Amino acid sequence: MVKEEKSRYIAFEIIIEDETPLEVISVFNSISRSILSLYGEVEASQSGIWLIEFDAETCHGILRCTSKSLDKVQTAMAIVSSIDNRPTIIRLLKTSGTIRSLRSALEQPTLTSEDLQS
């Protein structure tokens, strides 16, 4: 029996120039385009990314990917510089193996240097 690959969930925040709400599809497209451009088609196919949820008002979202490609997906997200031709920063908040723990991270989105050191 083939074992199912483990998933990881990434909570993120999008900081964008004007306040016009973002469309979910634009966010997903820019992240997948970034993975494709940085790591190529093979890695993009293995990353298994899926945008679980995205709140256009708060610009917070959760992205799913395979645990093996977690670092690559995060790097590709960090490199995204625009969505819909609007200057953008994707700020990574937290990664986890379950969605539940991420929801609490979204309630307290401030990342401190202690988080970085741990």
Partner 1 sequence: MKGSYDVHVHSTHSGGTSTLSEMIEMAHRLGHQNICISDFGAIDPSQVETLLQECKDFTPNVYARADISPKTPRELSHKLNYVRRKVDLVAVECSSENVCRFASTNRFVDILTLPPTVKAPVFTEIVARNCSKNEIALEITLIPFIRYYGKVRAKLLRIWRKILSVALRNDVMFVIGTGALSKYELRGSREMLLLAKLVGLPHGLAKQSLLENPFKLIERRILEKNGKIIMPGVRTIDEEKD
Q: Least distance to partner 1 from the beta carbon of 74, Å?
A: 5
In whole angstroms, the minimum distance from the beta carbon of 66 to partner 1 comes to: 17
Nearest distance in Å: CB 3, partner 1: 27
d(CA 65, CA 109): 20
Residue 81 carries which DSSP code?
-
- Which CB atom, from 107 or from 110, has the smaller least distance to partner 1? 110
Question: Beta strand 50-55 with 86-96: parallel, antiparallel or unpaired?
Answer: unpaired
Beta strands 7-16; 86-96: pairing state: antiparallel
- CB of 87 or CB of 97, closer to partner 1: 87
Nearer to partner 1, 100 or 113 (CB): 113
What's the burial of 77, exposed, middle or buried (CB within 10 Å: 0-12/13-18/19+)? buried
For partner 1, which is the closer residue by CB, 4 or 32? Answer: 32
- Alpha-carbon separation of residue 116 from 71, 93, 106 (angstroms): 15, 11, 17
The residues that touch partner 1, with contacts defined as CB under 8 A, are 15, 17, 37-38, 71, 74-75, 77-79, 81, 87-92, 110-113, 116-117
User: Least distance from C-beta 37 to partner 1, angstroms?
Assistant: 5
